Structure 1
Amino acid sequence: MPGLQRVGAEVMDTTTHRVEAAMAAVPRSHYIPDRAWDRGQPIDRSTDPERWQALVDADDAVVTQVDQGAPDGPGLATSSSSAPSVMARMLDALDVAEGMRVLEIGTGTGYNAALLAHLVGGEGHVDTVEVDEEVAAGARGRLAEAGLSNVAVHHGDGAAGHPDGGAYDRVIATCAVSRIPQAWISQAPGGVIVAPWTPHPRQPGGLLARLQVRGNTASGRFAGDLAFMSIRGAGAPEPAATGLNLEPDTAETVTTDPWELLSPDSVWPLWITVPGWIYGMRRDDDLPWVMWIASTHEYGWARISPASEGYLAEQGGHRRVWDELTAAWQWWHHHGTPDSTEFGLTVAPHGEHRTWFAPNGPTWTH
């Protein structure tokens, strides 16, 4: 499987081979609806079968719903089938054995649930929860057509898990969350949770969390960086002052490239080590671009824009968020740019999320 890689020292040596065997045995094409989207354009299997098949065969995500099914929306992707290599990474991290009970959050097409059903075998069981009733119905039909009797599709809010299902050995989310719900922890006593994590919904970048549940706490290292569609209902990031049209308290020319710090591919160390901020970009009448950064914990903002030599960094409010980000970036480089697998996440019983640098480094409360 292209891009498949091992994640986490705790994962059994046989897991990767079992995931590869499952993906070879379960055809993706059975689970992709006849209408999919490519670069915002609908592709119908009946009218363009070759292009539809090319989408299915590619190691890439396939958008299977836009605008939550509304007919006249802007074309925003709201459901998809993840790239097979990404699915393999997550299933590898989940470490599913035969006979296990697995809870999946985000059914989508049903393909991942079918892979899970293959991995747990006839003695195991998969419950999968989907918030969109139409998407759930489609997946339920495709799983039934495949003759899979050890998987059940439930329509509901995935953040609540599936309390009627009893205890699970594994929980996997196919959508990004900013807070690991306590319901998942309580429904997986002694089990493992695998979920894409990002501190703020709708912001770029993210990490794959692999958490071991012990009592009311879940903790574990990240299993690499990974961006995913946010869980339905997560909403926009917290309102924050972005500094638009405000006079700064400080202004200085800097050489640090904001695009290097805040690109979607490299922003993850800052999400881990600097809690409580969001960012974005806007256009300006006199400038080609202005990058804004805003604190969500206390009042503070920054504007970064191109200057004749380097960049102009303007800041206002009580919190100097740009200074915090550049200091964190320097700390990360000072420590040899450690991989995301050297960091972890702990979710406390009262819901506090704390990231940390292993084995005995600093911690950050989110």
Structure 2
Amino acid sequence: MAKRFLLRNILGSNAQRRHRHHRETMIENISSQFHVLLKEDPLRPVNFREIFESKIYGLAMKQALGEDVQSIYVEGLVIDMMAGIIEVDWRDFFPYLKWIPNKAFEMIMNALIEEQIKRIDSGEEVNCYLSYLLSEAKTLTKEQITMLVWETIAESADTTLVTTEWAMYQLAKDPTRQDRLYDEMRKVCGCNKVKEENLSQLRYLDAVFHETLRKHSPTPSVPLRRVHENTQIGGYYIPAGSEIAVNIYGRNMDKNHWDNPEEWNPERFMDEKYDPLDMYKTMAFGAGKRACAGSLQAIFLICVTIGRLVQEFEWRLNDGEEEKVDTVGLTSQKLHPLFAILKPGE
């Protein structure tokens, strides 16, 4: 029921059309902020993560908690709590470990829940995930509601942040490929800003997106899945009741399936044998009934953001940035934020 609501009202194709203005506003705000920083000090490296993180979490908060939550939304605190929980939250991988919420995060969520209850009681109609849980899922405890809302915010925002930051890092260190992407957008969009309706024509942008998912899978492993009946997979007998985790990182770095997998090479996805609609090639969004419900939104947000930022700026890595490629946490987030030198685009 909860996933059906998410698809119908937040993440599905019809919902994405309704909420498009939220995405466009977010991307416009990101672009404007980079322009301001560039004008203030053209030689100062910009912290990509700091800007993108606050905007993507803001969008996720709107979708999960409603429009007007600014009075109790403390940006830095919420983001810090989300990041901390993501890094230590292994409940999907080890179900026998009890989830113990961070107290500060718990206080914030309780305040948000109480605020939403007041809005519902006053008769205000709020089309968000929390409103649905409070009005329709009467048997859920406050702790369960907190967990469900947190998952929606964290899973949609963090993986989008991770993928976008890695893509911009790779483009900033590779001027030739950055120029190729710019030229493609110039050919397709002219002097106009890239929009969602242009994405189907931007094959190289799509290749950049998928190669980033392959090389820097946002989550290195699919959360545990339970086998319901005896089966055989790849010659192995798997008894019912077994718990299986798919190693996405290992699959995407397998030399038997990918040429030079350590190399970030979008051109591999320009091959005619590759179907751009094949979302299973990198398994970044999972598969089957448990596939990521937010894949469509992720494609829109990541691809349009990358496109706009390459259209409007020339990106170069700050000195020493190329060596800072370690990852940390449950997702494959860069250990150090991306710092880049920007120049105005042509």
What is the TM-score of this pair, normalised by structure 1? 0.28
Give the number of the structure with larger relative contact order, counting CA–CA contacts within 8 Å between residues 6 or more apart: 2
Bigger-Rg structure (1/2):
1
TM-score by length of 2: 0.29
